[in-house]
């Protein structure tokens, strides 16, 4: 009886399982997408700060008229170092 019921409806059962699988996959992808967006939004201030640091370091050649080509001096200057 049960085998006959399965044999008569196996395509319908497989289609239902496939639909459920696609539904759960879609829900998982939406959840992952939301998490990635939240992480991206949380990292945006750090990204802006890093861009400003890179720009400052690239443009900094002199501190108090002295040629300071070293990266540590440039970072120090860009982060408010000095008197």
pTM: 0.51
User: Is residue 16, in this structure, part of any structural domain at all?
Assistant: yes
Contact present, 61 and 69 (Cβ < 8 Å): yes
Q: Give pLDDT tens digits along the chain (83 positions).
A: 788 888 888 899 899 999 999 999 999 999 999 999 999 999 999 999 999 988 988 877 766 666 656 788 788 888 887 65
Range of the domain at 23: 2-78
User: Is residue 83, in this structure, part of any structural domain at all?
Assistant: no
User: Is residue 36, in this structure, part of any structural domain at all?
Assistant: yes
The whole-angstrom separation of Cα 36 and Cα 42 is 10
Which residues are 62's β-sheet partners? 67
For the chain, the domain total comes to 1
The whole-angstrom separation of Cα 53 and Cα 46 is 10
User: Is residue 41, in this structure, part of any structural domain at all?
Assistant: yes
């Amino acid at each position: 009886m049960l085998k006959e019921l399965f044999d008569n409806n196996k395509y319908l059962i497989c289609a239902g399982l496939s639909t459920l699988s696609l539904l759960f996959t879609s829900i998982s992808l939406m959840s992952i997408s939301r998490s990635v967006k939240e992480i991206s939004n949380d990292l945006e201030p750090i990204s802006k700060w890093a861009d400003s640091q890179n720009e400052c370091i690239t443009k900094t050649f002199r501190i108090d008229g002295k040629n300071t080509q070293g990266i540590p001096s440039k970072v120090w200057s860009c982060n408010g170092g000095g008197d």
